[in-house]
A and B are shown apart, each in its own frame.
Chain A
Amino acid sequence: MGSVGAKEIPELIGADGRRIDGRRPDELRPIRIVAGPLHRADGSAFVEWGDNKVMAAVYGPREVHPRHLQQNTKAIVQCKYNMAAFSVDERKRPGLDRRSQEISKVIAEAFESVVFSEEYPRTSVDIYIEVLQANAGTRCAGLVAASVALADAGIPMVDLLPAVAVGKVAGRIVLDLKKEEDNYGEADLPMALVPQSGRLVLLQMEGHMTRPELGEALDLGVIGCRKIYDVMKQALRDRYAAGSVVSGAAFSAAGVAP
């Protein structure tokens, strides 16, 4: 285009078939999960995934606010996804925007389909996802963090919910897009899997893919999800194996008003 300020589009897949950061097409970015870092919350998790850093906290089941949302037969699942102002290069204007509302909605709906909500009628399970550092795939990272946090909070559910994005970059289907691939690629396909049943409970797409490419992308995504599932399970096991079985409430003290 040659317009002022336009960045040069990087070469997303090199001659050796490697991606911009040296990964193979079916390779995930490094992922690290810590279960239970927050003591005030009923459950929490921190996820570092590539250059993403996401914290999730879960409260509940607890009283519903606002009251009119209360359901007499089951618990509701509420989610708030938020990006910190400092999470991206250019300051993100704080607060709700259309994008974060949409992500909150799809994540809440994904969890609604796995949480056994009939067990706690008239209550709410509240999920808070804070993106501290973003580099594409934050809704998946947030979902993974929230899922570990839900398990850490002792919420009954069908399964953990691993999630990953598959995309089309320079004409090829690749796993787990990073920022440049997301910005300059042809398609982005985030998904969340229920490993126990093989069902997908979140599937969105931006961009274009042919039908065979979509099939290939779904297969690749499921493989990626299963790898992430293992990391999620290990994070929860580590929390309880360390001998520090100080759970949710941990050692929190509060003064009593006289």
Chain B
Amino acid sequence: MGNGHRSRHRGQGREGAPSHSSRSDSARTLVLPGEELPSRGLGPGPGTYRVNGRIYASVLGLLQTQPPSVRVAPLAGRYIPRARDTVIGIVTDVQGTFWLLDIGAPRWAPLHMTGTPWKIDFGETQQYLRVGDAVVVAVEQIENTGRIGVTMIGDGLGKLEGGTLVSVSPAKIPRIIGKGGSMIQMIQKSTGCTLVVGQNGRIWLDGPDDGIVEVRSAIRLIEEEGHRRGLTERVQAFLDHGSGAPRGPKGPPPTAPWAATAEAPEPDPAEGPESEYDFPEKDVN
């Protein structure tokens, strides 16, 4: 890359470093690639790079000062797979002993026939999964080569039959799941639909037609207002008065029916593993 003195951060940052005071004052600062970051003697963390002792952002995201490093939590970008994630993949290629799955990651994930509950002979893969089929799989490991190992053996894993897929940003998934799965359960109960949520931002749903419409609107509501307080109440109110809700992905954001019931403030409803990937509020600048 021509520049002699550049050192890149490699590997994962220290997830566990607790530094709430320094986090809170910087967690809402949006930074852009090339922007110089206040380093105060800290090292370059994920989403940053260092040239001649100065630290710059390399991705668009939120600035986080977590001693011993400065890091940028990305706001955009593809799904980055992590071990033990449950994801929804779409078959993109069928080979003699494995399938290639598009899980929204930078690379396709091979699903080997030994990683399925079926007993398959060589060449029979086509009879079980074809291009375009959707499956629920778990990420087993990310190899050094970047190969993503996935398996279909486990609870809740397998082929998806029928239903509909909806895609959201992977960063919103913790809000859609809710604390301990509360949000999903609430949506399922009110709409009579079955949901399967993948950490890669894909949501599969099946059930009565108007239920599906309602779930889609609810997901969009969570996407747009997931960073605001009282989300659970708003979604509940929306589902209760669902008839007046906008029906199509292009409609105006729903506001009226739950406006009155949104008063009771609730502590952060979502606490998924990625809750640090927060969304900027209106005052982001």
Q: Which of A's residues lie within 8 Å of B, judged by CB? A: 42-43, 60-63, 113, 116, 118, 120-123, 151-160, 194-197, 199, 233, 236-237, 240-249, 251-258
Contacts and interface: CB of A to CB of B under 8 A. Distances in A.
Contact of B165 (A151, A155, A245, A256): A256
Contacts of A197: 3, 51
Contact of A241 (B74, B145, B160, B282): B282
A159 B1 CA distance: 13
A245 B2 contact: no
Contacts of A152: 60, 76
B284 interface: yes
A209 B220 CA distance: 56
Contacts of B281: 243
Interface in B50-82: 51, 56, 58-61, 74-78
Given A113-B2, A151-B60, A255-B164, 20 more contacts: A42-B76, A62-B106, A118-B8, A121-B145, A123-B107, A154-B78, A160-B32, A160-B33, A197-B51, A240-B280, A245-B75, A245-B280, A251-B220, A251-B223, A251-B249, A253-B164, A256-B162, A257-B132, A257-B134, A258-B162
B224 to A, nearest CB: 7
Contact residues of A: prevailing secondary structure: loop
B227 interface: yes
Interface residues of B, number: 59
A154 B106 contact: no
A206 B133 CA distance: 53
A248 B58 contact: no
Contact residues of B: prevailing secondary structure: loop
B201 interface: yes
B204 interface: yes
B284 A151 contact: no
B34 A196 contact: yes
B92 to A, nearest CB: 8
A240 B59 CA distance: 14
Among B32, B145, B161, B216, the most chain A Cβ lie within 10 Å of the Cβ of: B32
Among A62, A195, A245, the most chain B Cβ lie within 10 Å of the Cβ of: A245
Nearest to A242: B282
